[in-house]
């Protein structure tokens, strides 16, 4: 499954094809390439897939996506802070096969 995760741009460096940004994902900050979204400014929300911001979204869309990710337990895979409730860990065979954190085995 491919997943693009919403985050808020908190820093921008470089320009053109080398435009990079620090993106905040519910308290976890990571670098992302901003070359595909030249219109993005500080404070904007973007969808990031494998280190590349692929589109700009509004805050409401970002919050709805975070809620959905939290509901299905995917925020833990982002390294979300412990104060974010990501639900119970997987403890079944499927969880082990998928490499989900907390799966027994």
pLDDT of residue 70: 83
CATH number of 5-97: 2.30.30.140
Mean pLDDT of 82-99: 47
* Residue among 78, 45, 48 nearest 62 (CA): 45
User: Across all residues in the chain, what is the average pLDDT?
Assistant: 79
Domain ranges across the chain: 5-97
Q: What is the pTM of this model?
A: 0.66
Given a contact cutoff of 8 angstroms between Cβ atoms, the answer to whether 18 and 12 are in contact is no
Kind and range of the H or E run holding 67: helix 59-72
Candidate ranges 38-42, 93-97, 99-103; pick with highest mean pLDDT: 38-42
User: 6 vs 13, 65, 89, 91, 96, CA distance in Å?
Assistant: 19, 7, 22, 27, 26
- Whose tokens are 């639900």? That residue is 87
* Residue among 66, 62, 46 nearest 54 (CA): 46
Q: Please determine, for residue 102, whether its predicted confidence score (pLDDT) is greater than 90.
A: no
C-alpha to C-alpha distance for 68 and 9, rounded to whole angstroms: 20
C-alpha to C-alpha distance for 78 and 64, rounded to whole angstroms: 17
Quote the tokens at residue 91. 């403890």
Q: What is the pLDDT of residues 37-86, one digit of tens each?
A: 999 999 999 999 999 999 999 999 999 988 888 888 766 655 555 444 44
pLDDT of residue 36: 94
Q: Please determine, for residue 103, whether its predicted confidence score (pLDDT) is greater than 80.
A: no
């Amino acid at each position: 499954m491919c997943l693009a995760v919403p985050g808020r741009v908190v820093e921008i460096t470089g320009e053109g094809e080398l435009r990079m940004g620090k993106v905040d994902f519910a308290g976890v900050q990571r670098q992302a390439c901003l070359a595909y979204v030249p219109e993005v400014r500080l404070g904007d929300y973007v969808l990031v897939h494998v280190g590349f911001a692929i589109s700009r979204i509004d805050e409401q869309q970002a919050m709805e996506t975070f809620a959905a990710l939290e509901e299905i337990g995917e925020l833990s895979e982002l390294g979300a802070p412990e104060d974010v409730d990501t639900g119970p860990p997987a403890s079944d065979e499927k969880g082990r096969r998928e490499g989900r954190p907390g799966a027994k085995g």
